[in-house]
Amino acid sequence: MADTSDALVFFGASGDLAYKQIFPALQAMVRRGQLNVPIIGVAKAGWGRDQLVARARDSLAHHGGVDEAAFAKLTALLSYVDGDYGDPATFERLRQELGGAQHPLHYFAIPPSMFEPVAEGLASIGATAQARVVVEKPFGRDLSSAQELNRALRRVFAEEAIFRIDHYLGKEPVENLLFFRFANSFLEPIWNREHVNSIQITMAESCGVEGRGAYYDEAGAIRDVVQNHLLQVTSLITMEPPSAADPDAMRDHKTLALKAMLPLSDRDVVRGQFRGYRNEPGVAPDSQVETFVALRLRVENWRWAGVPVFIRAGKNLPVTTTEVFVQLKRPPRLVFEEDHPGHPNYFRFRLSPDVFLSLGARAKMPGEAMRGEEVELVARHQSPDEMAPYERLLGDAMRGDQRFFAREDAVEAAWRVVDPVLGRATPVYEYEPGTWGPAEADRITPPDGWVTPTPPGIVP
């Protein structure tokens, strides 16, 4: 199925995600001339087309701004189907609205419990055979529910037609990480256990759960960001070079990297919860859900055996930043008589909120003595995403490009890693808001300590 999708149906048109992300992405795609097919919003809000258009305008006014010319074009493409997903008449109306479209893209921006009935409703009107489907995260709550969800979707759609969205993979800096690794030759000889001492990934947010307590209390940090975003990033750092000739090679190698990660055990994980979390609206008064996690991961293959990967993620931490830090080994011997040999060399990939990649090295300080100082060479410093991930990924899905979507086996491999430590498998320790998690997390510390993220060019 090589053709570009000839209609876009988005389920959940009245939802929060549509409001915050999808309408802005659609307007941007229209503005770039990348979207010129019928767009059908579906929801059960009791709306007509006018209300959908009004909702789109309101969404844009709050998220990125209305571009009147692009909005007029977008409006001309929009139509609306109202109805419950449990009602066959909803899908009959959709069939009418689809008209002559042969291979639509269906976007499930709806709760995962709705995926199966909607897929079956689409099958009942014959709108699946040549279609593609984009499904939102979370893809399951654990390994067995992810497998069940995969089975349900696969009853209706072929794997080549399923696009599991992880918006992280559509982020420019995440793609740059991949590009930097495989478009340069100098990294490959050192990107292995002989030269890398440890890898650490920090995903810190200084905010709390911001009114999304009910959602967060069902998830926690491991389900919310580790199983998906951070293990995907880890797979990009640790995967083997893909072959350019094979379009699915990148996903093959990412999956192999995920499969090489050992399932986590209690010893590898410390969970924390910020003080005051249980008073948040929607959060259980005795919640054991983690708002912080620190973990040590092992990637057991020839390239990475013995190189620990440390991940920490959480809310109400001192800063908001996501950063990958790859620390190299020290030189085998000290040549110069320095009191302190300083940090080993490193690579730093800042993924957000600003974007840069840098290399930490030692250089001689001016003067008679052979003494050095640490310097950081910034190879790239750019502004945040020029193209928002949803715009990028929806465009890819319309064209049938699956490179930056998660494949069934990769999703299941990632769940296999975290499955043993989900829920109450380990205790949760309280921490003060604005700190780096509970004191108990000290036992999960990289060999030279956690690196506190600093601005580009400033040695951490």
| Contact residues for ligand NDP, defined by CB under 6 A | 12-17, 20, 43-45, 84-86, 109-112, 114, 136-138
Contact 456, 378 (CB under 8 A): yes
Collect all residues with Cβ–Cβ distance below 8 Å to 267 and sequence separation of at least 6: none
The nearest distance, CB 44 to ligand NDP, in angstroms, is 4
How is residue 409 written in tokens? 């086996």
Neighbour tally for 238: CB within 10 Å = 26
Distance CA 364, CA 377 (A): 14
| Closer to ligand NDP by Cβ: residue 59 or 321 | 59
Distance CA 124, CA 92 (A): 9
Which residue's entry shows tokens 């909803």? 90
- The residue from 103, 106, 167, 229 that is catalytic is 229
| Closer to ligand NDP by Cβ: residue 13 or 26 | 13
| Closer to ligand NDP by Cβ: residue 162 or 270 | 162
The nearest distance, CB 189 to ligand NDP, in angstroms, is 39
The nearest distance, CB 455 to ligand NDP, in angstroms, is 29
User: Maximum CA pair distance of the chain?
Assistant: 85
Beta-sheet strands, E only, within 185-340: 196-204, 269-274, 292-298, 308-314, 321-328
Instruction: Kindly give the interhelix angle for 389-399 and 23-31, rounded to the nearest 10 degrees.
Output: 70
| Closer to ligand NDP by Cβ: residue 15 or 308 | 15
Closest residue to ligand NDP, Cβ-based?
Answer: 15
229 given a catalytic annotation: yes
Sign of CA dihedral 431, 435, 437, 440: negative
| Closer to ligand NDP by Cβ: residue 15 or 423 | 15
The nearest distance, CB 115 to ligand NDP, in angstroms, is 8
Distance CA 392, CA 24 (A): 12
The nearest distance, CB 424 to ligand NDP, in angstroms, is 22
The nearest distance, CB 215 to ligand NDP, in angstroms, is 8
Distance CA 204, CA 319 (A): 6
Number of alpha carbons in the 13 Å side-chain half-sphere of residue 133: 27
Question: Of 220, 224, 22, which Cα lies nearest the Cα of 137?
Answer: 224
Distance CA 382, CA 335 (A): 37
| Closer to ligand NDP by Cβ: residue 64 or 456 | 64
Beta bridge partner(s), residue 378 = 358
The set of catalytic residues is 229
